[in-house]
Homo-oligomer: A and B are copies of this chain.
């Protein structure tokens, strides 16, 4: 097979990034050397520096890939949102969260790596922007007061969306990344059902709500 120069370059860069992602997600940033990356990518260390200015550029490029994937409509969690899983089908949202974490697992690792080894520098803006992204989604999806009329009073609908997203995504981060099965003391589908139930209708019986709260 004959490869044009541009194809060769692209293929090498892809191999480098792929290897870097695999190794970073397993060993962390400082725990992974350029030599390992080059070896796994099947080329020399010098060549890595031909395609990328330094080690950190590998990391930030990978974070950029994840950033882009997260905003794509075919990102599992976005797909579930677009399909109307919120607010009625929280279980579907939970399944989408699981799929998102499972498929993008090595990328999710990068977030934790950034917190530990870069003091959260790169991913801070991602967490900062999450609320605004959800908010603008809700405004487009539920114009007017259609959603607010179905919601209980005392909170913004966006708080509910943020809450359920965080709960589900964190649950599967702990299950998949941390490697903890049955963290709630029951199997995952049951835990998802019970959590969804609480988020929908609250933990108290209606007649047993504590007094003095709005």
Interface residue stretch chosen among A48-56, A62-70, A127-135: A127-135
- Add 16 more A-B contacts to A150-B204, A154-B193 (CB < 8 A): A112-B112, A120-B177, A127-B180, A128-B180, A130-B183, A131-B183, A131-B185, A132-B185, A155-B193, A155-B203, A156-B186, A159-B195, A163-B198, A200-B202, A201-B202, A201-B204
CB atoms of A180 and B124 under 8 A apart: yes
A residues at B contact (CB < 8 Å) = 26-28, 30-31, 87-89, 109, 112-113, 115-117, 119-120, 123-124, 127-128, 130-132, 135, 149-156, 158-160, 162-163, 166-167, 170-171, 174, 177-180, 182-186, 191, 193-206, 208-210, 213-214
Q: Which residues of B contact A127 (CB under 8 A)?
A: 174, 178, 180, 183
Q: Which residues of B contact A185 (CB under 8 A)?
A: 131-132, 135, 156, 158, 162
How many chain copies does the complex carry?
Answer: 2
With the chains together, A162 CA to B149 CA distance in Å?
30
CB atoms of B178 and A117 under 8 A apart: no
